[in-house]
Amino acid sequence: MAVRMELSRILIRELSDCQLIELREVPEPGQVLGDEPRSFPIVIGLPEAQAIDRRLKGIVIDRPQTHDLLASIIKAMGGTLERISITHLDDHTFFAELSIRNADGELLTIDSRPSDAIAIGITADTPIYVAEEVIAAATREET
């Protein structure tokens, strides 16, 4: 089962190669969460962290960056990014998929890094879902 999550924070340390984003559980309508929603960090690279931060803040730059380009290509081809899914965690590496509905209505699943998927989908408020076993494994690693 997949759990709806949201980007809750981003930590950029420009003097480090490791940046962090944190995902936090979002209650479904009518759902009551425990004491505190589950959350976990994902280590990402500086360019991806800067792209996510820039897109969150609505900062427009003169020329499109890679994530802007990919979002524009999806839109220009009549597609819609419907969902970001973080599907598994293997040896401290997270794996994700983009679910894109094309102009013909076909749902395409594209392999992605979570950081790239979030950078592409963040401005469109694309929902993020994380497999329950990924949350369990990520929160175990955190402690």
Question: Which domains are assigned to the chain?
Answer: 2-142 (3.10.690.10)
d(CA 42, CA 6) in angstroms, rounded, equals 13
Q: Residue 36 pLDDT > 60, yes or no?
A: yes
Share of the chain above pLDDT 70, in %: 94
Q: Residue 143 pLDDT > 70, yes or no?
A: no
Within the chain, what is the greatest distance between any pair of CA atoms? Answer: 45
- pLDDT average, residue stretch 62-89: 94
Q: For the beta carbon of residue 45, count every other beta carbon within 10 angstroms.
A: 14
Query: Is 0.85 surpassed by the pTM of this model?
Result: yes
Q: What pLDDT, on a 0 to 100 scale, did the predictor assign at position 124?
A: 87
Packing angle, helices 46-57 and 114-121, rounded to 10: 20
